[in-house]
Amino acid sequence: MNAVIRLVQAAHRGLDLIGTWLPQLGLRALLGWEFFESGLEKLRGDNWFADVADKFPFPFNVVSPETSWFLATWTELVGAICIWLGLATRFWAAGLVILTIVAIAGVHWPAEWSSLPELWRGYAITDRGYGNFKLPLLFIAMLLPLLFTGAGRLSLDELVRRRF
């Protein structure tokens, strides 16, 4: 019985050690890819923010669609690269959470709903007129550990922390 307990304790210590490296790295890789891809799409595409600018929440609705497009594009591109590298991770995670909340409010939230079951139809990865806020909500949930715990041990943030 003691051997089993020692084995379980050793497994827990190993998982704890891996847990300071691997989870944040996986989140950074996935989120970096998704936000960089989205930023590239904006960089190469046409500005459609003018079509949805009236849906942006305050204070994001007071700037021009061109300024919003520029800020969204470069926040996604630079933020993605910094998230990949683990550089200023908490800053960029916070910025990308804000950007994603604005995207949910301006683009992904259902245009009309009168009950929670109707709203819940928008929790999908589809565009059938009910909204499609599932994926951005998942991105926010994935950004929160990076915001609150940082980039993890395999990051430039950790190198800076150890150096200074």
The domain limits of the chain are 22-163
**56-60: average pLDDT:** 79
- pTM for the full model? 0.87
Task: Give the residue with greater pLDDT, 86 vs 7.
Answer: 86
Q: Residue holding tokens 């300024």?
A: 67
Task: Give the residue with greater pLDDT, 141 vs 107.
Answer: 141
| Each residue's pLDDT tens digit, 29-47 | 999 999 999 999 999 988 8
Q: What mean pLDDT is reported for the chain?
A: 89
In single-letter form, the type of residue at position 118 comes to E
- Whether the ω angle into residue 65 lies within 30 degrees of 0, i.e. cis, is no
- Surface-to-core class of residue 76, CB atoms within 10 Å of its CB (0-12 exposed, 13-18 middle, 19+ buried): buried
pLDDT value at residue 84: 97
Contact partners, residue 134, CB within 8 Å, separation at least 6:
122, 123, 124, 125
Q: How far apart are CA 38 and CA 52, in angstroms?
A: 17
pLDDT band at 129 (very low <50, low <70, confident <90, very high): low
**10-26: average pLDDT:** 85
> Any idea what the Cα angle at residue 110 is, between residues 104 and 114, rounded to 5°?
130
Highest mean pLDDT among 50-59, 87-96, 126-135: 87-96
Encoded tokens for 114: 């009168």
> Any idea what the Cα angle at residue 12 is, between residues 9 and 17, rounded to 5°?
130
Task: Give the residue with greater pLDDT, 82 vs 130.
Answer: 82
Residue 147 has pLDDT above 70, yes or no: yes
Task: Give the residue with greater pLDDT, 116 vs 40.
Answer: 40
How many of the other CB atoms lie within 10 Å of CB of 102? 19
